[in-house]
Amino acid sequence: MRGSCCGWNRRTEQRFRLLAISTVKSVKIKLLLCCCVALTLLAFSTSASSFVVWNNQTPLPPRSSDSRRGYSIVMNTWKRYDLLKQSIKHYSSCPRLESVHIVWSEPNPPSDILLKFLHHVVKSKPKDGRQVKLRFDINKEDSLNNRFKEIKDLETDAVFSIDDDVIFPCSSVEFAFDVWQSAPDTMVGFVPRVHWMDSLKDDDNKFSYGGWWSVWWTGTYSMVLSKAAFFHKKYFNIYTNEMPSSIREYVTKNRNCEDIAMSFLVANATGAPPVWVKGKIFEIGSTGISSLGGHSERRTECVNRFATVYGRMPLVSTSVKAVDSRNIWFW
């Protein structure tokens, strides 16, 4: 009788012990799940708050006002005055911006109304007692090569080449500038593109041009477009005076591929790939060359023609992407 009673007590004790262990495990799992949910909600709220509008930017630390450490914007525009005003108004707030050079290729000079508005915008946003310089680079000929003409009064080494219909938060531009400073001979930009050898063609030296979806699918790129990219001002001189003239003539005639030409030039000079920087892009325009039919075919023709002129393919592919880990949870 005593033995059976002791056995029952031991079994009861074991059951309570197992119940206690399972309860502790259940509590631990629930606590872990709660922590995961809380972190997910926090990450979502952080990213959502910065996504609401493009000018809601992350506060930036104070920067040196030394012009040698700043950058200049060279903006290409064509009869889109509202977009030009919006872009200048936005970028004038960027901390290390020293000057804005507007590439003007229209038959008529900028109107007095436009000049007055833009000068008022930059004067209304002084930085540490200084103002952003605004210049119009007037061109007699309407050519896409104009955006890469040498600028004599350019005071900074760094150039941020940008179209008038794309907006990036200043925090993204400043981060891209930091990346460029670590590799000042290469191109650093936000819009990647790719090329690859066309295996369907009998000729082993035929290439194809790929847009964003090709970059997304393959995870590689070999160009960053000059619609939003940093590069050294020395490439203006090389593009205008040293690059084969047949490439500039092709760009003028076909009104396309000046950005591919610059990518070829920099890759040929460095033997290195560009650097793609992750950033939020806001397209404020609705039309452009890329929206026309047959755009990819024309770009493919450019890639093959330029490779023939160089006698080889200078573009270098890579899968590296620069990410500002301060502003994201997972990277």
Active-site positions read: 259
Residues 116/201, Cβ–Cβ less than 8 Å: no
156's CB contacts (< 8 A; 6+ apart) are: 67, 68, 70, 71, 72, 98, 99, 233
292: tokens are 């026309």
Determine if residue 313 is left, alpha or beta; phi over 0 gives left, psi from -120 to 50 gives alpha, anything else beta.
beta
Of 78, 41, 69, which Cα lies nearest the Cα of 164?
78
With residue 316 as reference, give the H or E element that holds it.
Answer: none
Residue 230 CA to residue 187 CA, distance in Å, equals 6
With residue 314 as reference, give the H or E element that holds it.
Answer: none
Give the C-alpha distances (Å, rounded to integers) separating 60 from 85, 217, 279: 24, 34, 16
Q: CA 46, 163, 314: angle at the middle one, nearest 5?
A: 100
